[in-house]
Amino acid sequence: MSKVDVIMPQMGESIAEGTLTKWLKSVGEAIDRDEDLFEISTDKVDADIPSPVAGTLAEILVEEGATVEVNTVVARIETEAGVEVAADAGSPEPAAEPEPAPEPVAAEATPEPEPAAPVAPTATTPGEPDSREERLRTKSTPVVRKIAAEHGVDITALEGTGISGRVTRDDIMAHIESGAPVQPAAAPAPAAAPAPAAPPAPPGAPGMLSVPIHGATLDIKIPSVPIREGDRVEEMNRVRLRTMEHMLMSKRISAHVTSVNEIDFERVVQMRRGLKAKFAEEGVKLTYGPFIMKAVVEALREYPILNASVDGTRIVYHRDINLGIAVSINDGKELIVPVLKNADGLSLKGLAEGANALAAKARSKSLDFDDIQGGSFTITNVGVFGNLFGTPIVNQPQVAILGTGVIEKRPVVVQDTMGNDVIGIRHMSYFGLSYDHRVVDGAMAAFFLNKVKDVIENYPEDAV
């Protein structure tokens, strides 16, 4: 017999920790592989986490209500020796295409698993509640409790908007920014505040950031910044640190290049106007997104190198086209990328329904574990914020990401019915494709963008 560690999984690009809300199995109870083992809650996703193997639940190391960092061992399952175990004992996704985990959103095509964080279920930082009852009563994460302690706020007196009334970071910051009085127990502020101190360096050597890459650690020097009178210094929270790690990891792994194309959306604009009412009658909101996704699917079919991942010195061409669709949540303060599976088998209506459902689940924090796993290509809409185009960073372990710009009317040169060049008004947009130059050359990226452009500008009627 042998024991397999079960870890707190990574549940999104900037998720650094999760709260284990409920165990679905008891110690000594048998469990099948992929059978739900426990429930977790994060600031972005609530999910049931499946068992990585079949066996017997031998140990529970993290109690219900406890909040721990990702990759922390939460339990151990006793199983027969020699049984096949997933590469990452805490994640059910295939080893050939794990979800980014720097976080984290850090990951490679088949990364060596990082050492699991040491488990200390009862260890807490000063001032933090250490019992299950106290954690549930405060309904918050360590980051929120730390902010509350620094500002003298009693969390138990606040109404939270998170799961089960949990106080989120947005709740505590809104309370502080509202100017509400602090609790009497808070220490009075000194009459003359000393000059602000520099925030402590992230884990690693002083002035260094340690980023995990391919099972090793890369130390990146962080330049020091002179702090002058009147400057405000704010320490990065864990979400921001994890995002920084993931972005640096992706830039270090992939040789980033971005190509931009201008696309005439007039054909799609007219088609959408004619279809909106019909789709609405069927309960489907039709945006420009499904048209773009359909064009991307057609381009990925023709140029599959963009639907691939790098595994060492091998290129993994993915059979399925699983589109990651970036969704802004929490008033634009955070981003999550749910995945629309098998997008190549969906009609325009199917793409609209699938994308709308995932966006709604993301904003209501009801995404399932499977909803954020297995993406093969990502689309991020920077145009929704009015930007002309963007140069997004590749979402590891993928090799390309498309940033779609704002669709707006512009004067352009067009031909009239007699073939003369004239100035016309057209709905135009810029698309920026960031790609990994290790495997995608500039010509291939251009071919891909040109295919997307061709589909959108000459959208076929039968594609609906």
User: Once rounded to an integer, what is the mean pLDDT over residues 201-212?
Assistant: 56
- Does residue 130 carry a pLDDT above 50? no
Question: How many residues are there in the chain?
Answer: 464
Query: What CA–CA distance (Å, rounded) separates 23 from 224?
Result: 45
- Does residue 57 carry a pLDDT above 50? yes
pLDDT band at residue 83 using 50, 70 and 90 as cut-offs: low
pLDDT band at residue 218 using 50, 70 and 90 as cut-offs: low
- Does residue 198 carry a pLDDT above 50? no
pLDDT of the residue at 392:
94
- Does residue 301 carry a pLDDT above 90? yes
- Does residue 90 carry a pLDDT above 90? no
- Domain 255-463 class in CATH: alpha beta
**Cβ-based neighbours of 338, under 8 Å, separated by 6 or more:** 324, 325, 327, 358, 359, 361, 362, 367, 371, 372
The topology (CATH level 3) of 132-177 is: Dihydrolipoamide Transferase (4.10.320)
Of the two residues 348 and 180, the one the predictor is more confident about is 348
- Does residue 202 carry a pLDDT above 70? no
Mean residue pLDDT of the chain comes to: 79
Query: What CA–CA distance (Å, rounded) separates 1 from 78?
Result: 7
CA angle 433, 435, 436 (to 5 degrees): 175
The beta-strand segments (E) located in 24-156 are: 30-31, 36-41, 46-50, 55-60, 67-69, 73-79
- Does residue 456 carry a pLDDT above 90? yes
Of the two residues 243 and 285, the one the predictor is more confident about is 285
pLDDT of the residue at 87:
40
Of the two residues 182 and 357, the one the predictor is more confident about is 357
The domain spans of the chain are: 132-177, 255-463
Query: What CA–CA distance (Å, rounded) separates 139 from 21?
Result: 11
pLDDT of the residue at 231:
92
pLDDT of the residue at 254:
92
Angle between helices 348-363 and 289-302 (to 10 degrees): 120
Active site residues: 437, 441
Q: What is the DSSP string of 155-218?
A: GGGS---SGGGPPPHHHHHHHHHTTPPPPTTSPPPPSSPPPPPPPPPPSSSTTEEEEEETTEEE
pLDDT in tens, 371-419: 888 999 999 999 998 999 999 999 988 999 999 999 999 999 998 888 8
pLDDT of the residue at 176:
76
Of the two residues 345 and 108, the one the predictor is more confident about is 345
Residue 33, judged by CB atoms within 10 A of its CB (0-12, 13-18, 19+), counts as middle
User: Once rounded to an integer, what is the mean pLDDT over residues 192-210?
Assistant: 50
